[in-house]
Amino acid sequence: MEEKEMRRIEGQIRKALSGFYYVASEGKIHQTRARGNFRKKKLTPLVGDEVVFSSEENSEGYILELLPRKNELVRPPVANVDQGVIVTSLVEPNFSYNLLDRFLVTLENNEIHPVIYLSKTDIVSDSTMVEKIRSVYEPLGYPVIDGEQDKKKLTDLFAHQLTVFMGQSGAGKSTLLNDVSPELNLATGEISDALGRGRHTTRHVELLDLFDGLVADTPGFSSIEFLELTVEELPKEFPEFRVAASKCRFRECRHVKEPGCEVKRQVEAGEIAQSRYDNYLQFLQEIEKRRPIYKKK
């Protein structure tokens, strides 16, 4: 009997579940497994990965090769993300410039375009708050969406993008995902934090076709620690610092005590937001004090 010729096809992993990877290619979904040598090479395929896989009629395919990733996130475990929607509550929990800047720095560091989505704007007592936040972030190129006013503005951004959601606990990530796509039926606020870490609540990650783009069906992470960011990288994750730094007297200016620092000049002149600079100094301290991470053998 002649051996069937194996087809090598390119596709994208849309779902990972129980050791199977479901790969979209040429308008179909193919059920595949990863090759055994992936484990030896310490490679784990992620949802969002572009892959080369084999496919035979009426049988399971195999992922043969992972194509280069532009980025990857740990929570949710997704690769090749284009944009991150940071769901930020104005009240209950209260708005925090510090937490928002943490998310922005993390996304910048992964080359993911941030979108700021403000929730609970209809119950905040300070009616000028949305405009204050806009005035800080929109000049930096970050869209700021008032969630109670214009959800369509958000879904218009999904086309041709792979989007993930993130934000503090209780900000309304699951509620928003359910609004955008009712078929998701994500549990909203039913699982306590303690239970949320239990084995019974493990969810698989899946990319859903929504509004001509792909959206990860999981609310993603809610806290940020700068475990891998270096002191050299941090200033480059603030777009306004990147622009100003070309005029600093020193090439690797940290924007702290150096003379002739353009970033500090712009903060004093009100051209860079004081809150952004204060948060930068705090993040810098955290990174400097961080203990070295020793990986277990």
Q: Report whether 135 belongs to an annotated binding site.
A: no
Alpha-carbon span 84 to 215, nearest angstrom: 10
Distance CA 84, CA 157 (A): 11
Q: Is 188 annotated as a binding residue?
A: no
The letter for the amino acid at 71 is N
Token pair of 91 as six digits: 């009240």
Confirm or deny that 282 is annotated as ligand binding: no
**Residue 168 assigned ligand-binding role:** yes
Would you say 196 is a known binding-site residue? no
216 has binding-site annotation:
no
Is 48 annotated to bind a ligand? Reply is no
Phi, psi (degrees; rounded to nearest 5) at 141: 95, 10
Q: Is 119 annotated as a binding residue?
A: yes
Give dist(CA 249, CA 236) in Å, integer. 16
Q: How far apart are the first and last CA of the chain?
A: 47
269: annotated binding-site residue? no
Annotated ligand binding at 248? The verdict is yes
Q: Which of 217, 163, 220, 204 is nearest to 22 (CA)?
A: 204
The pair of three-digit structure tokens given for residue 101, joined into one six-digit string: 């800047």
Q: Is 175 annotated as a binding residue?
A: yes
Q: Binding site annotation covers 174?
A: yes
- DSSP characters for 45-71? --BT-EEEEEE-TTS-EEEEEEPPPS-
Let me know: does 281 contact 267? Beta carbons within 8 Å. Answer: no
Is 253 known as a binding-site position? Answer: yes
120 is in an annotated binding site: yes
Was 244 annotated as part of a binding site?
no
**What residues are designated binding site?**
119-122, 167-175, 248, 253, 255, 261
**What residues are designated binding site for GTP?**
119-122, 167-175
**What residues are designated binding site for Zn(2+)?**
248, 253, 255, 261
